[in-house]
Structure 1
């Protein structure tokens, strides 16, 4: 018994001494590899369901396009992003109070549990859909801890002259994951929808164990901090309600193709703005706020987040819009069946990923030497030009030009992302890095949701204005009775867009089965062929997507101006042990505490 007791005490002393020892020179690479794995996994799962939704809904016996079922489709599509975006700042602040590594590790574990629950989803029908959505929320909570702390952990671990490179690798993982998710979802869902969620389970288990064993808390955690409950609650509820309003603005309401006139959407947007305004007032008056708004007085922090938010709006809906373009028009015109278009859309988007992969680490490395401003500003200008050039492409484009343009979009995004993130994280006091990382990620994720809502509404409005007459005429000429043609033509265009996005033939979805089977075989073949729907929708769709590209270009141009105004970096140098000298912001914070 005495021997066992002494062994336990010796083990505890070893653990204690290990946690108190300074980290070695190689610790920063441990932090980089683990946080990159975490961000990669969370990003893959954010996009993996986009391609695999048809298989998932078929697996639980639900038609996502049936009346009353579209809410399940919307929540499966955007619920993960909404939950993650609304919790990032709160999680960042809690991590500053209780330890970034501790909360990051917890996030890895929660994400893994969510993945296991999704894989084992027992229900079918509406019950199964509700279970999937709830388990996705669990995943989203875990992802919130991962996203809010990864940049802060890297900033703590790396010296200033290597920070941009490290954060560039981390940013690449986030973008790479979103593209890998599209391809992986298409491949795995071909065999079983459960594999879509199972794939992250072993990665999550290994990553969680590795994080708990190897990551160390190198930041100094200031004690005796109080939780700002009023600030946390108003921000979380306000952001959630606002993003829900934007999300439901996509759905048709009454006779309108979109839901922006829905009283509930208007109320959600209003309540969200009021609560966020209350959050700002609270943060200015409480002793220990959830987020110190005076961080926005740091020009580099303010300009970096402004350009990031604008860039995220410009790019966030891009993948969604391009996928609809590919799946609804280009791929069918080139002979692809609708059921395989989701997978091929992901494959044809690979040049976007390659551009980011090439420029992300390089711009991060160079920005460590020459500062963030020139690279982040140039990256935004490249994206501005690329968006404008996309408006020149016809609906049935030559792929080589499409590939070149999205490659340059990826190149510009890679040139912007890592220097901008490094600039933001290096500008704030060390004890505020967790909440600053959360705010940065919130701007980025919220911009993506806003982008999807706004861009989708622009395209839908354009289709609603021009498509009914074109669709009614085309269906009538194809032999569909006039009464049926008129009824279908005046359905919300979201039905056709969602069908194409999910890999269903839109005409097979829109046309009643008894009407379709009553037509001659030649007429059926024409209606369900590869060219009928794309030729009908291409002209009004291109008007809408051109407006989206113009808006994106304008956003990127303003973001470039904001990036240019960030000022020159004042670089600090590391001692080479993972401990950084204070940045100007840290020196100010230290001196103010001393006073």
Structure 2
């Protein structure tokens, strides 16, 4: 048509949607490794009562929001245009990043500002995640879809690995730099999306929003995941909060609302998503395997960062200011393995199907978790690096083929909500994983840390009443103090009134940066063994589920040309 706008190529669309996924997922992990710099930057004491809550919400709030909203935003994309929602996601994300970079206060006020705008940033991230995969599925024919989704998913999951390295680099410069980078990338992505992606299909006229379904799903997931967040915080003299009535009530109410959501979706005329999709074998098996993989893998990054920054790096002479940077560098094999395997497995799955690669990847991950629980806390790095590399390879082998199989199995009109469901399983699995793994780790620490710390302090000649005061500090506080590069023993003994009476050599020993990590190493390993056993079991279970997906399956309406992008596709 004369004067018509140029038609964007498939690969141009892929590059823009992949940038959106990368931006959203980098910010799901960048805070993990940057938290020490952030806490120092806003002058927040990790041992002060209630401050652990700020740390966990900075970490998990973004993941919670994306897990809650991706299905709703995927459905809205199906109804009003995936490109419209996707482009708006860049705008929301970038605006929130500006607010984060301009944090006006310190202390608890600064922490609340950061948490609030991280939640808004999560809304933008959910808009990008929910529609990126669906746009690509629209754009590419089946024979190229595995490769395209492989690139996109590698970027998406690699973003969570890249965020660790990037967070280490930027926080070594200035903690606010982690947000300014998001501003620059988000602005570029928004300009590119508004210039490059176009919606040509008119929105449907007879579509209604399933408000009751949206509210029950969002509220149910929020209560469930928020209760998990508070369940791993101290409560009423207990090391964890599972006895808190609000936690128990939140878990019960969240589960009840999710059951109600499923009942509602079978009765409303236009459900937020069609539960009949779960009758498709490739769809339910792929999503179940993805959930098990997300739970197994999600807490891994958190455990590895605590392991490196809180124990291994200080024991090997690294200063506190350097630990985020070097933790990111030492985790590079994880990223390299994933990036190397992801595109290759996506391309080969177009020819040979997803089952072999996805199942094999989960088996490989299970074996690496077993390897990680067998090495000591003060490990030799080459063995650790090989295990990380193989874990990344396993994750790459699983991700792209599994995503392709899930998206190929659904009707074109439901790709947005299918993409949202897939992202919900992945993001909810990450939050559940952190809550579950962290709870197990704290349980392991609680069993042995007080006695270990009591023996270590007694050996240094610290009086018994002062030791009792130190060991009364919740193990989660001690662990986070080490993670954030802070040795609180001198301050605690000073508060107990005995620091001045100890020999100078003893005070120097207790205040050294290696002392607390050395005490934590044994109890920490006890918790790690439980965590990695569970991760291996979940990966093995995911492999069994992956085998149940059946053969290669592409939905029967694949060749119906109802894409929302005006693309020069090959279908007829």
Regarding TM over 0.5, the answer is yes
Q: In structure 2, what is the equivalent of residue 560 of structure 1?
A: 543
Q: How far does residue 296 in structure 1 lie from its aligned partner after superposition? A: 0.3
Q: How far does residue 138 in structure 1 lie from its aligned partner after superposition? A: 1.4
Match of 1:443 among 413, 425, 429: 425
Q: Is this contact kept in 2: 1:186–1:343, CA < 8 A?
A: yes
Q: How far does residue 301 in structure 1 lie from its aligned partner after superposition? A: 0.4
Q: In structure 1, what is the equivalent of residue 49 of structure 2?
A: 67
Output the TM-score relative to the length of structure 2: 0.94
Aligned-partner Cα distance in 1 for 2:82–2:163: 27
Alpha-carbon displacement from aligned partner over 1:183-208 (angstroms, at most 9, x marks no partner): 32233233332222111112111110
1:325 aligns with 2:325: no
1:86 aligns with 2:65: no
Match of 2:32 among 50, 53, 59: 50
Q: Is this contact kept in 2: 1:156–1:578, CA < 8 A?
A: no
Aligned-partner Cα distance in 2 for 1:214–1:117: 27
Query: Could you say what secondary structure the match of 2:374 adopts?
Result: coil
Q: In structure 1, what is the equivalent of residue 199 of structure 2?
A: 217
Q: In structure 2, what is the equivalent of residue 521 of structure 1?
A: 504
Alpha-carbon displacement from aligned partner over 1:473-518 (angstroms, at most 9, x marks no partner): 1112223221111221132110111112223235456544664455
1:538 aligns with 2:521: yes
Q: Is this contact kept in 1: 2:294–2:426, CA < 8 A?
A: yes
Match of 2:137 among 152, 155, 158: 155
Q: Is this contact kept in 1: 2:482–2:516, CA < 8 A?
A: no
Q: In structure 1, what is the equivalent of residue 23 of structure 2?
A: 41
Query: Could you say what secondary structure the match of 1:82 adopts?
Result: helix
1:296 aligns with 2:273: no
Aligned-partner Cα distance in 1 for 2:95–2:310: 36
The 5 A counterparts of 1:157-172 are 157-172=139-154
Q: Is this contact kept in 2: 1:508–1:528, CA < 8 A?
A: yes
Query: Could you say what secondary structure the match of 2:249 adopts?
Result: helix
**Cα gap change, 1:174 to 1:508, in 2 (>3 Å):** farther
Aligned-partner Cα distance in 1 for 2:58–2:332: 24
**Cα gap change, 1:167 to 1:323, in 2 (>3 Å):** same
Alpha-carbon displacement from aligned partner over 1:532-588 (angstroms, at most 9, x marks no partner): 323322222212111111111111111001111101114589899654659xxxxxx
1:461 aligns with 2:461: no
Match of 2:434 among 422, 447, 452: 452
1:424 aligns with 2:406: yes
The 5 A counterparts of 1:49-448 are 49-217=31-199, 222-448=204-430
Aligned-partner Cα distance in 1 for 2:201–2:292: 31
Q: Which deviates further from its counterpart, 164-173 or 407-416?
A: 164-173
Aligned-partner Cα distance in 2 for 1:517–1:223: 77
Query: Could you say what secondary structure the match of 1:411 adopts?
Result: helix
Q: In structure 2, what is the equivalent of residue 477 of structure 1?
A: 459
**Cα gap change, 1:543 to 1:70, in 2 (>3 Å):** closer
Q: Which deviates further from its counterpart, 271-280 or 566-575?
A: 566-575
Match of 1:504 among 454, 463, 486: 486
Q: Which deviates further from its counterpart, 468-477 or 269-278?
A: 468-477
Q: Which deviates further from its counterpart, 253-262 or 569-578?
A: 569-578
Q: Which ranges of structure 1 fall in alignment gaps of 5 or more residues? A: 1-9, 583-595
Q: Is this contact kept in 2: 1:342–1:502, CA < 8 A?
A: no
Query: Could you say what secondary structure the match of 1:491 adopts?
Result: coil
Q: How far does residue 455 in structure 1 lie from its aligned partner after superposition? A: 0.7
Q: Is this contact kept in 2: 1:300–1:427, CA < 8 A?
A: yes
Aligned-partner Cα distance in 2 for 1:511–1:365: 60
Q: How far does residue 175 in structure 1 lie from its aligned partner after superposition? A: 2.7
Aligned-partner Cα distance in 1 for 2:351–2:21: 26
Q: How far does residue 419 in structure 1 lie from its aligned partner after superposition? A: 0.4
**Cα gap change, 1:505 to 1:36, in 2 (>3 Å):** farther
Q: Is this contact kept in 2: 1:108–1:204, CA < 8 A?
A: yes
Output the TM-score relative to the length of structure 1: 0.90
Query: Could you say what secondary structure the match of 1:295 adopts?
Result: helix
Aligned-partner Cα distance in 2 for 1:429–1:170: 20
Q: How far does residue 221 in structure 1 lie from its aligned partner after superposition? A: 5.5
Q: Is this contact kept in 1: 2:30–2:167, CA < 8 A?
A: yes
Alpha-carbon displacement from aligned partner over 1:329-363 (angstroms, at most 9, x marks no partner): 22222112334222221211111111001100000
Q: How far does residue 386 in structure 1 lie from its aligned partner after superposition? A: 1.0
Q: Is this contact kept in 2: 1:88–1:145, CA < 8 A?
A: yes
Aligned-partner Cα distance in 2 for 1:193–1:182: 14
Aligned-partner Cα distance in 2 for 1:286–1:140: 29
Q: Is this contact kept in 2: 1:168–1:419, CA < 8 A?
A: yes
Q: Is this contact kept in 2: 1:85–1:442, CA < 8 A?
A: yes
Alpha-carbon displacement from aligned partner over 1:199-223 (angstroms, at most 9, x marks no partner): 1112111110110110133778544
Q: In structure 2, what is the equivalent of residue 6 of structure 1?
A: none
RMSD: 2.2
Aligned-partner Cα distance in 2 for 1:220–1:431: 14
Q: Is this contact kept in 2: 1:156–1:579, CA < 8 A?
A: no
Q: In structure 2, what is the equivalent of residue 590 of structure 1?
A: none
Aligned-partner Cα distance in 1 for 2:239–2:533: 22
Query: Could you say what secondary structure the match of 1:317 adopts?
Result: helix
